Amino acid sequence: MRLFGKVSIVTGASTGLGASVAARFAREGSMVVAADRNEIDGVSLIEHLQSQGYDASFVRTDIADEHSVKSMVDATLTRHGRIDVLFNNAGILLAGQDLPAHELSTEIWDAVLNVNLRGPFLCAKYTIPHMLNQGGGSIVNVGSRTGLFGCAPKLTAYSSGKAGLISLTRVMAAAYARHNIRVNAIIPGTMDTPMNNYLLADSLAREQYRSAIPMGRLGNGEDIEGLALFLASGESKYCTGGLYMCDGGVTAV
């Protein structure tokens, strides 16, 4: 069990990639706090994990809301007394509303950036003081290749937020390296999660996305959980500031 005795916060744990990672962290011995604004799926995941004997809890959280993040971190400390891992994963993609710059409303820009960039910043801001007191920790941000390349021309706000998150990863890695707080980012490819229903519900589009991936299949939560575990655990003890592709080879071509 590679996270035995560790306390992990997983944001966006109710569905998709976060749900797989939260369950894997629990199976690896971590006490898991699932932080999400989707209470129905989050509670259902936690009940499932608890029924298997794992120490997991759900804290309803809106990561864009400073008070909500602070309460979630306080609840984690009250329950567990420490925080070893922050899996900064919650995010939104507003298909049909996130548009090329001249068509994009300021409200949608703000809404996306508030969740996808301000949210991970707030979670880090309130978690890091406790990692500093403990003498270390691991933060894993979930980025996107849209933050590196202009590969989603309609998603101006989403891409810009993910680019900011990559920068946040590197600046925090540099700032806290001497304090044994490591900060890395995972860059998923096209994953078959609820976020991508708008793309993948259409069988022709699904086939186009699938065939563009060198490994010939879409990714899913199981594909990412091993990398998340590596970066969360001491096995990556000399890794910080890194971007780790988990995309079936899509950014290699």
Ligand X SMILES: NC(=O)c1ccc[n+]([C@@H]2O[C@H](COP(=O)([O-])OP(=O)(O)OC[C@H]3O[C@@H](n4cnc5c(N)ncnc54)[C@H](O)[C@@H]3O)[C@@H](O)[C@H]2O)c1
Q: Does 147 bind ligand X (CB under 6 A)?
A: no
Choosing from 54, 126, 158, 176, the catalytic residue is: 158
Q: For residue 47, give both structure tokens.
A: 């009940």
DSSP string, 138-193: EEEEE--GGGTS---TT-HHHHHHHHHHHHHHHHHHHHHGGGTEEEEEEEE-SB-S
Closer residue to ligand X in complex, CB, 17/33: 17
CB environment 68-93: b (16+ within 10 A), e (fewer): bbebbbebbbeebeebbbbbbbbbbb
Q: Does 108 bind ligand X (CB under 6 A)?
A: no
Q: Does 28 bind ligand X (CB under 6 A)?
A: no
Using CB under 6 A, which of the segments 58-66, 73-81, 104-112, 234-242 binds ligand X?
58-66
> Is the four-CA dihedral 156, 159, 162, 164 of positive or negative sign?
negative
Q: Does 250 bind ligand X (CB under 6 A)?
A: no
Q: Does 164 bind ligand X (CB under 6 A)?
A: no
Closer residue to ligand X in complex, CB, 164/188: 188
Among 5, 129, 153, 194, binds ligand X (CB under 6 A): 194
Q: Are residues 56 and 26 in contact, defined by beta-carbon separation less than 8 angstroms?
A: yes
Closer residue to ligand X in complex, CB, 16/137: 16
Among 76, 193, 233, 240, binds ligand X (CB under 6 A): 193
Among 9, 17, 22, 139, binds ligand X (CB under 6 A): 17
Among 30, 57, 144, 169, binds ligand X (CB under 6 A): 144
Is 158 an annotated catalytic residue? yes
Contacts with ligand X, residue ranges (CB under 6 A): 11-12, 14-18, 36-38, 61-64, 89-92, 115, 119, 142, 144, 188, 190-191, 193-196
Residues annotated as catalytic (active site), given as ranges: 158
